[in-house]
Amino acid sequence: MTRAAAGFLMMLALLPAAARAQVAPPPPVTADPHAGHSLPAPATAEVIGNAPAPAPPTDHAADAIWGAAAIAPSRAALRREHGGFTGSMILFNLAEYQVRQGSDGYRWEGEGWFGGDINRFVVKTEGEGDIRGPLEKVEVQALYSRAIDPWWNLQAGVRYDARPDPQRVYATLGIEGLAPYWFKAGGALFLSTKGELLARFEGFYDQRITQRLILQPRAEIDLSAQSIPEIGIGAGLTAIELGLRLRYEITREFAPYFGVEWAGKTGETARLARAAGERASGVSAVAGIRFWF
């Protein structure tokens, strides 16, 4: 019998009978297997108030050495870069010469943006042509980009195709970002002023062989909801591009590359191309420069 139980029985024996009937025995004591492994309960519960936050300090130690006027620009830059960030970038992922059967060609694909982490203005451009002929394709997009989570941006705006003729203007809605395992991916829908609906899906991956040598596989798929014979597009899956490019970053901003690309038109689009005397598919050896600033 424990001392506590013995003391309780002694106290109970000294009480009158009526009082003993009203005294409940203490609860049985059982061994706690987790005794000594739990944190004690706080003496008082934490109270979270709604008072306004205190004002930021004004007695900066650096001001006493350099002076408040000299430190102010650095402090403003710190707030701008770690709070309301605003920046810009111009990137050309492709700027290349293509060696292919028949006649060589060239191609570019790039974009520029200005804004912050959440809201940005984006301009995209891509095009291609024949060395001995006119431009075959010129496309420009002006988009508003909004971050919807840390990895993906929702984009909306307009697309203008200067080539091929006749020219087209499209309303654009798309998404782009980083898929799992660092695949850069994106897709977009394009609705023309004539009611024509197109879609595009593309992606690439930068596989680092060394810190400067990078292999980039790339794929693009184009689709159309209807046939548009005047610009050589058929309904359904219209074109597929598969490329593999190896670049060497002389600096992070400047990287020459070479590689190979297969591009093919499919279905009705391939039939329209052959009817116009064009090749429906082909392989090109490519060499170019990837750069950004």
pLDDT tens profile 50-102: 888 888 888 888 888 999 899 999 888 887 777 677 889 999 999 999 999 88
**Whether pLDDT at 34 is above 70:** no
∠ CA 169-174-175, rounded to 5°: 155
0.85 surpassed by pTM: no
Instruction: Report the C-alpha gap between 274 and 272 in whole angstroms.
Output: 6
Which residues are CB-contacts of 143 (< 8 A; sequence separation ≥ 6)? 121, 122, 123, 124, 155, 156, 157, 158, 172, 174
Nearest to 187 by CA among 62, 73, 158, 198: 198
Confirm if 146 and 154 have CB atoms less than 8 A apart: yes
Q: Specify the DSSP class assigned to residue 148.
A: S
Domains, the chain:
87-292 (2.40.160.40)
* DSSP 8-state secondary structure symbol assigned to residue 63: H
3-class DSSP state of 5 = helix
State both tokens at 155.
């984009």
Within 10 A of 132 (CB to CB), how many other CB atoms are there? 9
Provide the mean pLDDT of the chain. Answer: 87
pLDDT at 46: 60
